Amino acid sequence: MPHEVSIATRHVMQANRSKNTKPELLVRQKLREAGLPGYRLHWKKAPGKPDVCYPGRKVAVFVNGCYWHRCPHCALPMPKSNVAFWSEKFARNRSRDARDQRELLDAGWTVLVAWECRLKGDRLDPTMRDIEHEVRMAERRTGGRLREVGVPSPWKLAARRKALHRHAAGGRRR
């Protein structure tokens, strides 16, 4: 039998929204302000029912909560009780996310993943610029593309590290 959770935990989990969360509402508001209306919400015809979906452009935007989808940028602790249950729960969530993304990519969609933590404070504007750019560019692309928005690409990170290294080396020569 699967791991049991208490009735109180079950009620708390059921109270968590899966649709129309604050981060999702914020993304939708910013897309409208940027002149990008015309999206579908939780479109059932797309694998995974993306939070925001542009069927004509073949763009799917998933606004992931850091806790439930186990954000790679947040150092989130594992719950201390019923660890086996939570480990399996989080593994199932991540597996489902990967499956849905793979199906969309195979169908030639642009898949954008926006993490809740990247939609707060000074990270909001760069993340939304990434989303807006990807939505606008999607019509020109062919084939699937997976992009985690609001996060510098690996080549930008490498260039930034190299510049910092040069700066540090230059500072020591003086």
Domains along the sequence of the chain with CATH: 7-173 (3.40.960.10)
Q: Which two tokens stand for residue 63?
A: 């606004």
In tens digits, the chain (174 residues) has pLDDT values of: 456 666 765 555 555 666 789 999 999 999 999 999 999 999 999 999 999 999 999 999 999 999 999 999 998 999 998 899 999 999 999 999 999 999 999 999 999 999 999 999 999 999 999 999 999 999 888 888 999 998 876 655 566 667 766 767 765 544
CA 1 vs CA 4, 62, 85, 88, 94: distances in Å = 8, 32, 11, 13, 22
The amino acid that residue 155 corresponds to is W
What is this structure's pTM?
Answer: 0.80
Q: Nearest CA to 144 among 31, 25, 59, 40? A: 59
Q: Which two tokens stand for residue 12?
A: 């708390």
Q: Nearest CA to 137 among 66, 80, 57, 67? A: 57
